[in-house]
Structure 1
């Protein structure tokens, strides 16, 4: 087995989009869990890569996206997950972390062949990213308590699909990077 990376999907967010009111409660519940994963990954030298929507602002870079999210009304959901200077950041345009991004190349260059996916939205970006990793022969782990959903029933179905159809290891975050 090669190297594992923690991928934080779409958590640098202003929450001023459609379905945000449905997403925010689930996001609130996963922020402390993701914060714990980030701490444990960093302590163990696991690479952390943020892959985030650009909100359609193509001239923006990750610092501007972070500043905008931190200046909004839901900064409390972003602050605990703030990227460190050593974190890598990939901007995406669509649901999958791989679609039209340099992520696959970056993972290859870093020797990463296993991803731990956390973030939002379980039944959208996390699901599609898991599928794209699977077709690239990259192993995937999804801690069920570290992914936020809009619709709980669709999220449950998505987690089952990831486990059954994509051979993802769906687990609890407490099972990762523990002593």
Structure 2
């Protein structure tokens, strides 16, 4: 347990959806910084690594089903570098915010987390809504701008600005998040 949690949000994706063609190029850009951040977190005892993923409306799926589907999806090359191993926390969510109808708030309380590093996809949706829910719960929020992927570039930039301005999130490169 530590007071820092690295959240990897919605990166276990089959890329079989209508926005996949817009999202994939952005995800390709964040894989290296994100996998580096995940590797650093795995090496440290003072960071809790938490994978949070949408169940995509399949309420019979468990987390391993989601991982398997993503690895068998259209872009396993975007999943393999960041795929969870057995030493991670995992939370299934049902909508945009990682907090909505999930056990995340309870888990973070048990971990005594104070600072959340939000990574993953989609900046202007799930990351933004998770940041807002984290902020109203009094977490310090960090968003590595090179470890979040957007669908719409203008909305992605606006979301980063909103998180920084309205939620006092620290927006910085992934390499600086755990330094």
2:35 matches 1:29: no
User: What pairs with 1:105-144 in structure 2 (closer than 5 Å)?
Assistant: 105-144=106-145
Residue 108 of structure 2 aligns to a residue in which SS?
helix
Q: 1:113: how far off?
A: 1.1
Distance 1:68 1:173 in 2: 27
8 Å contact 2:141–2:169 — kept in the other structure? yes
Q: 1:176: how far off?
A: 2.1
Q: 1:42: how far off?
A: 1.1
Deviations 1:68-105 (A, max 9, x none): 11112201100011102111110001000001111111
Q: 1:17: how far off?
A: 1.1
Q: CA RMSD in A?
A: 0.9
Match of 1:18 in 2: 18
2:104 matches 1:70: no
Residue 63 of structure 1 aligns to a residue in which SS?
helix
Match of 1:156 in 2: 157
Moved >3 Å (runs of 4+): none
Match of 1:176 in 2: 177
Distance 1:16 1:89 in 2: 22
Q: 1:44: how far off?
A: 1.2
TM-score by length of 1: 0.97
Count residues with an aligned counterpart: 177
Distance 2:26 2:60 in 1: 30
Residue 118 of structure 1 aligns to a residue in which SS?
strand
Q: 1:55: how far off?
A: 1.4
Distance 1:139 1:64 in 2: 31
Q: 1:149: how far off?
A: 0.4
Q: Structure 1: state its 5+ residue gaps.
A: none
